[in-house]
Amino acid sequence: MAKKSVWSDNRFWQRSAAWVTGFASILLIWLTFDTSVQIAMGTDADLQNGVTKRVPGPTVINYKITYEMSTARGHEVPVIGEKELFFGRDDYSEEEAGALLHLGKLGSQTKNCMNCHTLLGNGAYYAPDLTKAWLDPAWGPEGSMQAMTGKETKEEAMAEFLQHPSTYPTHARMMPNLGITAEEAKGLVAFLKHMSSIDTNGFPRNFGKIKGAVHGK
């Protein structure tokens, strides 16, 4: 009888498959514990003490957020700066800010944002990515979107747009009216502001930095 090679032996491959699958699964679970700690939401105390969290606490809406190049890490990171008014206040308590974020996150799901937009780059590709939408210059003081809604601040302009999206078309492709109430809009803007403060390892690259060079502007 010819000598049988281990390489064509079913038992060898069956045991290898079991080992590889089992060990990869254990590694994934271990990594999940490690990652879960790192992406747990921070607290108000963290923000006050300048502790950097990958996902800051909801009271980050009390602060100014920018997106700046970090030379150490080689990409842009969100930077939480001084206090900034959000719907006229900069003293939201942990509970108030948490409630707003809760409402906004619920709204982002029930209004089905993800089936047109991308959030953190995941979703549908029919409308702009919202990861850093809060930092989009178009909503800023000199931005076209803020001017279009006739509002004084970024958050009011965004909330106005969310409530009456088809009144303010920016393209032939418009956002439909989703019956978003004033309170829900406020929550959604808080959700967007919070999302812009998440450390996404430099995604998207060069967000809002490029102002010329295209179409001769």
Partner 1 sequence: MFEAMTDVVPSFFAWLNQGPLTLTIFLHTIIILPMFWIYKQEKARLESES
Partner 2 sequence: MASNHLTGIGSESKQLATWYFTFAIILFGAQLLFGLVAAIQYVMPGFLFELLDFSVARMIHINALVVWMVFAMFGSVYWLLPDETGIETVGIKIGKLLYWVFVAAIVVVVLVYLIVQVGPADEMSIWFIHEGREYIEAPRWADWGIVVVALGFVANLFMTGIKGKQTGIVTVLMADMLAFAGLYLAGMFFTDNISVDQYWWWWVIHLWVEATWEVFVGALAAYALITIIGAKRQVVEMWLWIEVAMLFGSGILGMGHHYFWIGTPEYWWEIGALFSALEPLPLVAMFIHVLYDWGKETGLQMAEGAEGHAIAGHTITNKPAFTWIVLNAFGNFLGAGIWGFFHTLPQVNLYTHGTQFTSAHGHLAFFGAYATILIGMMYLAIQGTNGIKVLKHTKSSIAGIWMIAGGVMGMGIALTIAGYVQVLVSRAQMGATWAGYFDGQSGMWFSQAMDWRLIMGVVTFLGFAFLIKDFLSTGKNPVHER
Contacting partner 1 within 88-127 (CB under 8 A): none
60, 80, 101, 189: residue in contact with partner 2 (rule CB under 8 A): 101
Query: Number of residues in contact with partner 2, rule: CB under 8 A?
Result: 95
Amino acid code (one letter) for 213: A
Binding mask 10-39 for partner 2 (x = CB under 8 A): x--xx-xx--xx--xx-xx--xx-xxx-xx
Cβ distance 13 to 30 under 8 Å? no
* 71 lies in the site for partner 2, by CB under 8 A: no
Q: Provide, rounded to whole angstroms, the least separation between the CB of residue 6 and partner 2.
A: 11
Instruction: Return d(Cα 156, Cα 141) in angstroms, integer.
Output: 12
Cα 127 to Cα 120, 137, 189: the distances in Å are 13, 17, 17
Q: Provide, rounded to whole angstroms, the least separation between the CB of residue 30 and partner 1.
A: 8
Binding mask 146-165 for partner 2 (x = CB under 8 A): --------------------
Instruction: Return d(Cα 197, Cα 89) in angstroms, integer.
Output: 18
Cβ distance 122 to 131 under 8 Å? no
Q: Provide, rounded to whole angstroms, the least separation between the CB of residue 46 and partner 2.
A: 14
Q: Provide, rounded to whole angstroms, the least separation between the CB of residue 22 and partner 2.
A: 9
DSSP H or E segment with residue 195: helix 182-196
